[in-house]
Chain A
């Protein structure tokens, strides 16, 4: 069995998660600080979560394709995104970013605002506050965001196949490999990939639950 789709999937999802981690947290902090247009900004970032992945793929083609402004600009440096490994990463980022953003924002909102203001009155700068108070106290939620983003990126199909294609050895991930196998009537191969991707996702979510159950917390509402 050719294992490249597994390697491509893990690489794509891994890199996408790194990008999503920083941009999701950054966007959450940015939107929370907005005084106006907060609702609109939130809606725009959340949109890829609720739109059909094909729509996301279509927009990516429109904005990053060879004929778009960005595409022509990048072509001057001999860079093309469509149907490359980079495109698979971009598609994965687009669909997993809302998950990271929303879980991070939720975790930040849970924090007691008095803690942040107390720190400020005692002279703690905003950066130290984010790094030493905000992030450590929101780590449970942030980890949940990372796992959700990673598993979502791992399972990404619609936007990927439209924007990055399904080129074996280049952009074919496990999810697109399943599609290709079913198209080719190779149900045995489809089964193998299905089991592998299912196991990966299950293990990651179980790890998250195990880690979160070890976190100290106050008396919960449900236990």
Chain B
């Protein structure tokens, strides 16, 4: 499978731009709600029409604004899984699947049986969508999606309609389903994106950034949007001091970083669990005042600030026993490992 997408679509509040290609892999689009994630998928499926650009799937041009090509949704072979699953309410599970399965009667019947078994739906094949649980509805929708034999699969927040417990179970079903397929998954959940996709592209201010290998993106999110969407809790505006030193303006901390500081540095970030307990006098270690302590399920979230300043507080997350052993101090020495400080130029 090979997909190339270059599209521009003007929306009410911003202009959506996407330019990427995909080869036999699962890609996640990570973005906040209302960032245009679903719109991107809808343009690829043909439900929405981009203003400009080109979409090519396996050598077939699906859309080309300069050549005036806009292939019908039905002929694109791009299956779309909606968040609410969109099963046909007037058909049983088996009928839902059969309705989109290509082939002659005998072939069709056999394929339907296969899909019912594969998705553990044999027991509910005669049931109507309203009689199914959320999990069964999702499996039925996935079975129907694959039965249509699409070349590319688009998944629009496939797990957000479910509660936490069910969500984990269905994530497993989804992972098995996606193995060896080409798919684009849209989500606002960084964990879901990381666990299900090999590549992740961040969508912010209407711009879909280049898809990146997931490990790389989480270790070194090179934009502010990527840092925030991958769950970085501490971000500060930053200024270059010299090739190894920066000033974190919001935190009011002069920090030493590992790689040479780019001239255009704009932000610095550190994940809440990457800060360490340090010793006074050690490099990149600062005395911080404990502003607030919030008890979470398995950890403490300690809010820290440089004493006697109006700096923005940093969030430090540490295991409960560790914080309790420290004796809940009001001042702590905090070490900022240079290799964990993320530098952002935009």
Residues of A whose CB lies within 8 Å of any CB of B are 112, 114-115, 117-126, 132-133, 136-137, 216, 218
Cross-interface CB contact of B100 among A112, A114, A117, A119, cutoff 8 Å: A119
A118 close to B80 (CB less than 8 A)? yes
B36 within 8 A of partner (CB): no
A121 close to B73 (CB less than 8 A)? yes
- Cα distance, A117 to B46, chains bound together (Å): 9
- Cα distance, A120 to B99, chains bound together (Å): 12
B77 close to A123 (CB less than 8 A)? yes
- Per the 8 Å Cβ criterion, residues 119-150 of B in contact with A are 130, 144-145, 147-148, 150
B74 close to A123 (CB less than 8 A)? yes
Known: A132-B99, A136-B90. A120 touches B82 (CB 8 A): no
Residues of B whose CB lies within 8 Å of any CB of A are 45-47, 73-82, 84, 86-91, 99-100, 102, 130, 144-145, 147-148, 150, 154
B88 close to A121 (CB less than 8 A)? no
Known: A122-B100, A124-B100. A114 touches B82 (CB 8 A): yes
Known: A124-B74, A216-B130. A119 touches B88 (CB 8 A): yes
Task: Name the 10 nearest CB pairs between A and B, nearest first.
Answer: A122-B148, A118-B86, A120-B73, A122-B100, A121-B80, A114-B86, A136-B90, A114-B82, A115-B86, A117-B47
- Sample of 10 more A-B contacts, CB < 8 Å, known A121-B74, A123-B77: A115-B86, A117-B80, A118-B81, A119-B88, A121-B46, A121-B148, A121-B150, A122-B79, A122-B100, A123-B75
- Of A118, A126, A216, most buried by chain B (CB within 10 Å of CB) is A118
- Cα distance, A133 to B100, chains bound together (Å): 12
Q: List 5 A-B contacts (CB under 8 A).
A: A120-B73, A122-B79, A123-B75, A126-B74, A218-B130
B79 close to A115 (CB less than 8 A)? no
Nearest Cβ on chain B to A114's Cβ, whole angstroms: 4
* Residue numbers in B under 8 Å from A218 (CB-CB): 130
A123 close to B90 (CB less than 8 A)? no
B86 close to A133 (CB less than 8 A)? no
- Of B82, B150, B154, most buried by chain A (CB within 10 Å of CB) is B82
A133 close to B90 (CB less than 8 A)? yes
Nearest Cβ on chain A to B23's Cβ, whole angstroms: 22
* Residue numbers in A under 8 Å from B145 (CB-CB): 122
- Of B82, B86, B87, B147, most buried by chain A (CB within 10 Å of CB) is B86
- Cα distance, A137 to B87, chains bound together (Å): 12
- Cα distance, A133 to B87, chains bound together (Å): 10
- Cα distance, A117 to B81, chains bound together (Å): 10
Residue of B nearest to A117 (CB): B47
Residue of B nearest to A126 (CB): B74
Known: A123-B148, A133-B88. A117 touches B73 (CB 8 A): yes
* Residue numbers in B under 8 Å from A136 (CB-CB): 90
Residue of A nearest to B154 (CB): A121
* Residue numbers in A under 8 Å from B46 (CB-CB): 120-121
B130 close to A121 (CB less than 8 A)? no
B99 close to A121 (CB less than 8 A)? no
* Residue numbers in B under 8 Å from A117 (CB-CB): 45, 47, 73, 80, 82, 86
- Cα distance, A218 to B145, chains bound together (Å): 25
* Residue numbers in A under 8 Å from B78 (CB-CB): 121
Cross-interface CB contact of A112 among B86, B99, B102, cutoff 8 Å: B86
Cross-interface CB contact of B47 among A121, A137, A216, cutoff 8 Å: A121
